[in-house]
Structure 1
């Protein structure tokens, strides 16, 4: 147990319920969230995984129109699929907030009112893209064009390529997705978040934060060089509707605000369940809010969500984990091109422990653009895990004496390096520390002395990454009450028990390898 127990609210960006989750979704966001939550719990902290589904975006609407089914029914169907994909990899959120839920709608309006009451929302003249042919306003992915900052193809509101906001007034060559016709700008009255008024507070909070330096530099540069208010409302049929008392009554909040605010609704639910005061919890120095996201969510989390916290008197997020888009055989995961591996399907063929360990290993520092999924890496991970198992079993089988000695300095150093890396969201560094620990430990060789402390430390380091695998061996050797957080071991008597469960196969099934190569490499080798 740590000296001061912290409460972590760990919140990955909510997926859009327009389909299942593929391994690109899992690797960059939801698996890393799960790993971090498990690490903080093992360290003795309270940690909660809060996410949800962004049901008010255009993607779900388009999918429903394609299926010719009610949009709420389609969202419900895909929510079940999303949770099944998470569960297939051992990921179970503590709170899953549907943005269509009554409490989320009420909470979003409450956040809006609080920001407005505090002087950080203004109603001003704005513009929204409009299709004369369809006689309707366009929103989000229904308006596409070219990014004014990086010239990449983009939807309105945010460019996935450079990560910057793209207001309707700045979108180049805008066209309406349903009809492919040109869009024009139509004047409207619109709610804006006054980032300009919040800028000094926002700059100080970001500069003083624990965020990765690359992220801090990007957001501080935007605040210095491109600062402007951010539109918060628009004409769109789905979403959180602003009430009759508002000048912009009938408009809906942008999902880049209310959709991301599902974390706040989840925290409120947890506080209500535990009988704690939401405002006291959020203001406490022992509370830490941590966000996980892909590169496309960076701007609105680091600027928009952070501003909405500061504007209500709460601290900035403690940290932000941002990953570049994962690629599969050199190309971005793409549902439309069927260039994907679905999480629930692959977990039925390949042991989830292998998948978790490999997917965690492809995470990289933001900006490297090197989050590559490759068959060879997956196969190497299966072999590595098999070798670890064989070493653990051989070390136990030859034991004549059980010893619990302090870790030697070289191993203690790697354990410290691992802990710092995990705290700092540098999962790639943590995995390197595990490899170094194993390379220097006495548990990879047969020995008459069974190193209980080293085995326990190794299992503790691996537990956030491959919890089922680690718990199997921890229970085998130390009993069901084992936890590395206690610092105490219940030492087994000799002879050490032999595992009654099978080892993980060292090879990925041949039929899967053949299918993978045919699907993703056939064109390249033809």
Structure 2
């Protein structure tokens, strides 16, 4: 059986992950990876910190520290947040000498093959400091949508703005330092040379990508494709080894492909699957399936530029089966802002609310195809009234229904048919191209309501109730990981690939935390989905809220 490689957008090591980042690619990719494993497939879920990004430099300057110290501190914080959320990846690989060798091997192979072009471009420069400005070091106005933008790409419309294209350019490190332009020779990757292959690739995926991301791709293809910088003048990053560009570094976005190849290799080694080369698992002859999870504003990078980097190696590597792209996640109707402290750090939320409940709420409200909103009231309502009360009420009803029914308990044809329908529904939520963690979470709520009524019906066969509750538990398992672990430890079968059976072993449905002691919940309250014992779940002020881009952390304006 071929393996699936699941890649979440590489987080820039200039800060921790806030709730918005987590609700974007990281949790969504984890739920998908867990579903694949439950369906019996081999998976490596991975990512890698993006230490070379210019946003590390600008953030370090603002915080009065060095880029190296900021990277180290941020990587530790990101690692803690990933573990705290229970993401099923091996961890963050070290960005050291092995990483640098992987990047240089990847780019020098393309250089030897003649894939790069030496081109003279106009680059913005801070007049007094003499620093060349690119990406997070420069801000201005997007030339396409005229919204405020940093260099490299606009987070609003998603279009790139390389070199001198950004309007009203100014230094983010020192806005008072006048900007001038200098002609400089850099190596570039000409995307236009891959138009035919790109057009064929996207044509084969029409109707599979989410519409907004595919619209951006079509907008980009409707005009000449840009030349992507391969090297830039700078002193933060991996020194470029090419004789044509002395004193330059590898453009940070060029590192993405070898970075996640390296992180795949490292992750496999943690699973006792060592490989000789960093790119072994991405080699086309192994036939792995590749799926990316990222935010809309990374569509150009992960969906186009990085795809060309793979294509430029000929047929050596796999290309992504699908890019799963999310939109922005707001807080209380406003875009998050680090400078205004308008965010909630993932670690802070998890310190106040049990992990399963956080995962469920973020999955349910994930900004999959439109911007969505995080509020304290919505969190409390979703996890208390809609989830915890009905779930724990069902747990009590199940225990009463199967008392004295024997073990294992026989099922009926009608119950098995309903179970099969639920399995089909959950699989349709988790499978590509229609993957939707939000729809899976909503399916859990719908089935809880139905099963609570079924449990109260004296005509319901105890075995049918057991079988259907087990199916809901299995469908919720990629989201409610701690509850699933407790059930699995008790011997409950949570496979999503097995069909309904004629007999089902008796089991207790693990209760969810946060809804108060079971003794304080009456049958009437459970059926009505109300629990007066529910405490306030989020004593965090909204001024510490969250907004999402579902992409690498950047130096926020």
Q: So what's the TM-score if we normalise by structure 1?
A: 0.88
Is the 8 Å Cα contact of residues 123 and 163 (structure 2) preserved in structure 1? Answer: yes
Whole-Å separation in 2 of the counterparts to 1:123 and 1:271: 37
| Cα pair distance change 1:59/1:501, threshold 3 Å | closer
Match of residue 239 from structure 1:
237
Whether 1:454 aligns to 2:468 is yes
Match of residue 385 from structure 1:
387
Match of residue 120 from structure 1:
115
Name the SS for the 1:248 alignment partner: coil
Whether 1:196 aligns to 2:189 is no
Match of residue 420 from structure 1:
428
Whether 1:510 aligns to 2:518 is no
Determine which of 442, 455, 461 is the counterpart of 1:445: 455
Whole-Å separation in 2 of the counterparts to 1:179 and 1:501: 51
Match of residue 51 from structure 1:
47
Deviates more, 1:209-218 or 1:261-270: 209-218
Aligned pairs for 1:472-487 (under 5 A) are 472-476=486-490, 479=491, 483-486=495-498
Is the 8 Å Cα contact of residues 4 and 289 (structure 2) preserved in structure 1? Answer: yes
Is the 8 Å Cα contact of residues 62 and 173 (structure 2) preserved in structure 1? Answer: no
Is the 8 Å Cα contact of residues 477 and 494 (structure 2) preserved in structure 1? Answer: no
Match of residue 130 from structure 1:
125
Is the 8 Å Cα contact of residues 211 and 319 (structure 1) preserved in structure 2? Answer: yes
CA displacement at 1:492 relative to structure 2: 7.2
Determine which of 245, 249, 253 is the counterpart of 1:248: 245
Whole-Å separation in 1 of the counterparts to 2:489 and 2:508: 11
| Cα pair distance change 1:499/1:11, threshold 3 Å | closer
Name the SS for the 1:317 alignment partner: coil
Whole-Å separation in 1 of the counterparts to 2:501 and 2:417: 20
| Cα pair distance change 1:186/1:47, threshold 3 Å | same
| Cα pair distance change 1:362/1:512, threshold 3 Å | closer
Deviation readout 1:427-446 (Å, 9 max, x if unpaired): 22323333344444478524
Deviates more, 1:279-288 or 1:118-127: 279-288
Unaligned runs of 5+ in 2: 517-530, 546-557
Whole-Å separation in 1 of the counterparts to 2:302 and 2:421: 35
Whole-Å separation in 2 of the counterparts to 1:493 and 1:299: 50
Name the SS for the 1:61 alignment partner: helix
Deviates more, 1:452-461 or 1:111-120: 111-120
Determine which of 403, 410, 414 is the counterpart of 1:403: 410
Q: How many residues align?
A: 508
| Cα pair distance change 1:345/1:271, threshold 3 Å | closer
Unaligned runs of 5+ in 1: 521-526
Determine which of 158, 164, 176 is the counterpart of 1:163: 158
Match of residue 93 from structure 2:
97
Is the 8 Å Cα contact of residues 136 and 151 (structure 2) preserved in structure 1? Answer: yes
| Cα pair distance change 1:427/1:92, threshold 3 Å | closer
Deviates more, 1:267-276 or 1:154-163: 267-276
| Cα pair distance change 1:427/1:132, threshold 3 Å | same
Deviates more, 1:79-88 or 1:352-361: 79-88
| Cα pair distance change 1:450/1:413, threshold 3 Å | closer
CA displacement at 1:491 relative to structure 2: 6.8
CA displacement at 1:394 relative to structure 2: 1.4
Match of residue 254 from structure 2:
257
Match of residue 102 from structure 2:
107
CA displacement at 1:270 relative to structure 2: 4.4
Q: Which has the higher contact order (CA 8 A, sep 6+)?
A: 2
